[in-house]
Structure 1
Amino acid sequence: MRSKIAESLIDVEAQLRQLGLWQMKPPPSEALASTEPFCVDTLSLPQWLQFVFLPTLYQLLEQQLPLPERCAVTPMAEEYFRASHLATEELLMVLAKLDVLISETP
């Protein structure tokens, strides 16, 4: 199951890159230190995915640490991209798959 999660993380990155949402420069450390869900007060959702969500999950997988019991990123992504003119269907599908994989992993 962990290998499928890792593959899905790679797919999320690929989708962010394809949509032109991948940033080369990280946001300031203060922005990453937000305690709000999804860092909504300091980051855009694509930034949160790139600089918080993906690195955290990669680290948990690499160190064989327990994954979160539940994952529900897709509803936030659907809301964020609702008014977007970007073709985000594939990204949303990958995030939905990741939500299921993480939530079902013991």
Structure 2
Amino acid sequence: MSDPERLNRAADLLLELEAELRRLGLWEDARPSDEALASALPFCCDTLSFPQWLQFVFLERMKPLIEAGGPLPGQCGIAPMAEEWFAGSGIETGRLLRLLRDFDKLLTRD
């Protein structure tokens, strides 16, 4: 896949991911504090829920990269964290997990 195709696909996935978070009722209007967003731990796991991290860290960092024409990260492994976080939650996350797996595949270069 060419770089422009990867960027277009990434943009589509971001839109789908936002729509799915909204559909599941996981989208938040209130932004977390700067301190919560500044966590040094992976996925800000000590200060944010995983859906908050997706919305306020992942999406917010990916959008400008895509709008600027890249470069995109060469590796991504979000889906396993999502699977762990949502396990036993009772939330129907099948589509959300598929979108995150697609993101992982798109961004991870062999």
CA distance in 2, matches of 1:77, 1:101: 17
Of 25, 35, 54, the residue aligned with 1:49 is: 54
The alpha carbon displacement at 1:102 in A equals 1.1
Partner of 1:8: 13
1:98 paired residue among 89, 103, 107: 103
Give, in whole Å, the separation in 2 of the partners of 1:18 and 1:94: 14
Matched, 1:76 2:81: yes
Query: Which runs of structure 1 show a deviation greater than 3 angstroms over 4 or more consecutive aligned residues?
Result: none
Gaps of 5+ in 1: none
Q: Could you tell me which of 65, 78, 82 is aligned with 2:70? A: 65
TM-score, structure 2 length as denominator? 0.91
Compute the TM-score of the two structures, normalised by the length of structure 1.
0.95
Q: CA RMSD in A?
A: 1.2
Q: Tell me the distance in 2 between the aligned counterparts of 1:78 and 1:51.
A: 19
Aligned to 2:42: 37
| Secondary structure of the corresponding residue to residue 108 of structure 2 | helix
Give unmatched runs, 5+ long, in structure 2.
1-5
Percent identity over the alignment is 49
